[in-house]
Structure formats: structure tokens, C-alpha cells
Structure 1
């Protein structure tokens, strides 16, 4: 891809992202306007900045370009349907932060922390933290409902929506099952690369790339050859995306990523990164991992010790290699895909951004 093509593709991506944001804002304003009739409904206003502030919109953009790659016209209904995936993603983030005990999301307090602060500032009865968790779970559930509503009222042809329903249902089910696998693997406490990769595939990889692409393709009437190409491209790219996320969760700059680089270590996340380190550690290194990984009071000094082990065991380099290999496989599949030229350029640019991102 030439410099001029990259510039054009980047501009197209920004334009689509802006349209997705406008569709989300319009939908949220309508729904929050309806809720304003309820007594003491001001807390729901927290949902607007939570959804709209920050975020890469990777899933809705992939859905949109999946539509365009199948020959779908540049239409507002495609943007609205794609935007529904961001509401589903916001639901998943709210619940994920509760389960992980994360205080920060996109550089701002997580939803359960915002609601706990509202409780405390309002002088209400009971435990602010318990209120924050309970209310945030409900807010996440509301976004899940709204995601369905936005998709099914997007204006996409009803027959095409019916054809896409199994893809949408499978995406949601796999993401939720993958989250359970993540919780279960954390509880088991002894990660393996094979089991950690299973979590990657179910929790994030297919939900982040493959399913959004296929969903857009089906809604535009794409044929079996194109949808198979989307899967061949989306699976390795989705895995690479999550592997990069795991690296950023430990080695990333919180000022850039918008989240702590201690949370995954404190929680004892069973990432491929940590599983590789465990499988290649010396007895002394494994003892250090067992002592520090999953320690709720882990501080920056202890985190540096763990990061050193991740480097010394080759885990850091191995995961970088896994990302590079999967990126090559994704781009090879993309170049062979029977899709429109503008979609190919946009998806190539999104691939580069996903592989080498810093946030």
C-alpha cells in the first residue's frame, strides 16, 4: 500500500468512525430522552459519555467494511446496523470491569466506579460500592437490549437481517462463553498456552473481527466465497488483536492505553503471555510468578519483577512473534478475498492499526 493510499484509507476510516459516533449519539439521545420522564433518571445520562468518549470503534468499522466489501452501497442503515456492535461492546466492557475489579476504563472511572461516586455524592443509604456494582450490571444489560434495538431498527432490509441473525446470535453467545472461560481459567490458577488461546478465540478474537465482518457481509448479501474469506482473514487478525491487548495490559503506558498496566497481573489473568512464561520458567522464576501473579496488593516494583521474568523467559518476544505470524496470515487471506477495492484498502489499514497499536 502506497503512502497516498494509506492516507486515503485513514481518512476514510475517520469518516466512517465519525458517522458511527453520530449514529450512536442520535440513538442514545432518543433513548435517554424517553428515560428522562422517569423520576431520578439522571444517572442514565452517564451512559452517553461512557459509550461515546474514547474507543476505537473497531467492531462497527469492520462490520461496515464487511458490508461494503460485499458490494453493499454506502448507506446510513449500514452505519446504524454496524453501530449496534458498539453498544454490545459497551455492555461487555461494563460487566468485564466489574468481574475484573478494574477501576479505570479509557482513562476514566469504570462505570461501577462512576455509579458508586454518584451514590456517595448524593448521600444515599447503603454501601456505595455495592450500589455501583448492582447499578452498573443493570446499565450493561440495558446497553445489551439497546444493541438489539438499534440493529433491528437500523433500516437494513428485514430479510437480510433475518439471514444475519444466526451470526449475531453466535457472536454474542461466544463472547459471553469466552468471558466465562476467562473467569474459570483465572480460578484454576495454572495457565497453559493451549487453554489461554482457547480463551482468546472465544472471548475476543472472533467477536472482535470475524463475526463483525461476516455480519456486515451477510447483511449486504455476500456469497459463501466472500464470507469464507472474511473468516480466513478475521480469525488470525482477531487473535493478533487480543494478543496485542494482552501485551498492552502488562507493558503498555496507562497514559496511552487509558487503563492500568497492573490490573491483569493483580487479577492473575491467564493470558498466553503468562502461560508461555510459566511453561518456560526456571524453578526460581516459576516461584516468583506463583508468588506475585494474582497478588491483589501487587505494586509497581513487584510488577517490574514479573515483567523481567516475561522478558527473560522469552514470553514477550514469543507473543510478538505470534502477532506477526497471524498478521501475515490475515493479510494473505485479505489479498485473496473477492471484495471491492475500497473495502480492501480500508481493511488493510485497519489491520495495520490493530497489529501495531499502542492503545
Structure 2
């Protein structure tokens, strides 16, 4: 008899497994349908010896000191400040949009004060009911179309006007030359990778791990007292109320026979290319080697679920599932898929720590 059966060996499931085993002495069975741990943060060395992220770039950043300290028990950190460039009008420009972005794009010499006046002349004041409203009311129509419109359509399979305001509101506007993508207090990469960090988290005699295991196939044969589910909440209920939509990704890896391919870890392509961005993760990991590996990301409507689609109708359907979940006394849902929320890694760990305190 296990005290807890945890479905999913990503950050949410492994955080809870570690806390329950180490702090409560619980016997935990951790099951994962994939052949590896660490969920979408899974990383490993390719045939060229380059440490790559198998499911797209994962960059750790947080203002949550407790989360940072917790993860620091299992890893040392490589200091890294993430920078993103975007390919617009034949130029590589900083994102988030800042003074350098506009000066380079338009050949201007704006200051913080004149940048405000420049944008004020282009804005279309409107209530922020959706993501298009957020950007057009801050930057105007032209900059929305250059930087956000096509990228959003590719990433989400719908227009920004159909998405909740917080999608595009995640990207700030800076009235200075700060080129960092994130402004969080704690930023960095696990020195030996996310997979090694997660391995250390679940290295405990009270935790049993089963890979290549489908929860549906073992739930009736393995005895347990309480269930923590980190997979899609609609899947747990066998889609009884309808399917929640998710966006997936296809990754195209390419080995490059030179030390560096592009000047930043991530370059966005908000234009006619089918892919949304090219990632060269060596910029983030700090790895030194004579070759590099890049990966192009192609969003898809079907496949492994990566992103809950943040539209109002989807949130309303999730709330119906959440009502059903609340009726279950010994089943708990957590994580990006379990809570149908676009959570960053630190937020996933925070939600897991919060659930641990409630259990």
C-alpha cells in the first residue's frame, strides 16, 4: 500500500514526491508514461555532445525566494540572464521592446521621455478585453503587427483578439535599454541540467519510480491511499464534459559545425516562417564546445499537450472540471495540465509546495 500515487514525473510531481517522502515519511509511487523524468524540462546530451532541451528552451527565473532556495538543495546554478531577439524587417531586434528596439527599427535617437511621446502618438486607447487590445493600447497597430500578430497566430492557432489579455501582457515594454527578457531576482540554469536536478530530488528510499507506465493501466491493481494527478484534468475524467484544447510543438533539431549559430539563445520569427523561433541553448547553459545544435519550434494543434490555450471558453470548461475535482476527497490536481494554467517552472514548484502544505 502506497500512501500516495503521483501521476507525472515532471517538476510538480517530483516536488511533491520529494516533500512527502522526506518530510512526512510517506511511501510514494511516482508513475510516468514517458521513458524519462523531468517532464518537458527534460534535457540530455545529443550525439555531438551538446546539452539540449528536448522539449524547447526552459529558462529558470523567479522572484520567489523560497522556491529558489528549495531547488538550490538539488543543484548549483550557472548564472544566466536570458535575452531574446526577434527578426523584424530584416533586422534582429531586442524583445521585450525597449529603447534600442525602436531606435534600431526606425533609425531614431529616442530617450525614455521621447519614447513615451512616440508611443503615445501611435496608441489606440481601448479596454483590455483580449491580448490584441493589450498591445494596441500600449504600442499601436503597426508595432502589434510587426512583433505580435503573426507570432501569436502561429503559436496559438488563433488571433490575439481571441486570447485572454494575460497572454501578450506577459511581455513588458521597457523605457530604457534593459535587454533582459526577465527582470526576476533569481535567474539561472542548473549547472548539470534540469534532469540531473530532478534525479536528485527523487533520490529517496521512500519513492518508487515507474517509467513507461500509463496510469489507466495500473490504477486498479496498485493499492494507494491518495492520488496526485499532474496530467490533463479532462483526461482524468475521460473527457466527460468535453476536451480541453492544448497546443503542442514539433521540434526540428539541426547540428551546426561551428561554435555558435546565432547571437542569442532565442530568436523569434513573427513573420511568414512556419516556425516561431530558433533556440540555441548553449547560450543559456554556458557549455563550451566546437559545435552547436539548434532547434526550430513548429506549433501544432495536436500532439503531446504543452500549453493550455488561454481563451475564455476554455477557462469556463476547465472550471466545470474543477467543480468535479472538488468533489473528490483524496484526489488532487496540480501543474500546468492539472490546473489548466500557463505556469512558469517556478510557479509549478510553488503550486506543488502549496499543495504539500495543504495535504
> Normalised by the size of structure 2, how large is the TM-score?
0.24
Q: If each structure's strand is expressed as a fraction of its own residues, which one has the higher value?
A: 2
Q: If each structure's helix is expressed as a fraction of its own residues, which one has the higher value?
A: 1
Q: Which has the higher contact order (CA 8 A, sep 6+)?
A: 2
> Normalised by the size of structure 1, how large is the TM-score?
0.24
